[in-house]
Amino acid sequence: MAVKIKKREVGEITVLDLSGKIMGGDDFDLFNNAIKDLVNDGHVDIVLNLKSVKWINSTGLGLMVSAYTSLVKQGGRMKVCEVSERIDNILHVTQLELIFETFDKEADALASLVE
């Protein structure tokens, strides 16, 4: 199952609920276009909720890094929340936990962007 993206607004912050597997291929265009559209619309503070993501491969991690870079270049921030133990281990092994600030709860990720 390819990644599915559901967008919602919480105040001034956009939450992207991702589900399925983030594997690249068609996911690249879908995810990349979602981020581009948000940036073009001035939404640069984003929370990625990975609660329903079952797996992410190296290409998927590259998508997340690309999104993070695009947002930071526009003065934005990206937080990641509700990461499964499996995905958390991947972020740890790849040391991407040093780039992505992760939160157990979405509310905490949102609060970090309001401060």
Q: For the chain, what are the domain ranges? A: 4-114
- pLDDT tens-digit map of 26-44: 888 888 889 999 999 999 9
pLDDT value, residue 1 = 59
Q: Which CATH number fits domain 4-114: 2.40.30.130, 3.30.300.30, 3.30.750.24, 3.40.640.10?
A: 3.30.750.24
Lowest mean pLDDT of 18-32, 42-56, 83-97, name the range: 18-32
- Tell how strand 45-56 and strand 13-22 pair up: parallel
Region 65-84: what's the mean pLDDT?
Answer: 95
Region 74-82: what's the mean pLDDT?
Answer: 96
Phi-psi region of 42 (alpha: psi -120 to 50; beta: other; left: phi over 0): left
Cβ-contact 15, 106 below 8 angstroms = yes
Model pTM score: 0.93
- pLDDT tens-digit map of 46-66: 999 999 999 999 999 999 999
Q: Does position 115 have pLDDT exceeding 80, yes or no?
A: no
Cβ-contact 106, 47 below 8 angstroms = yes
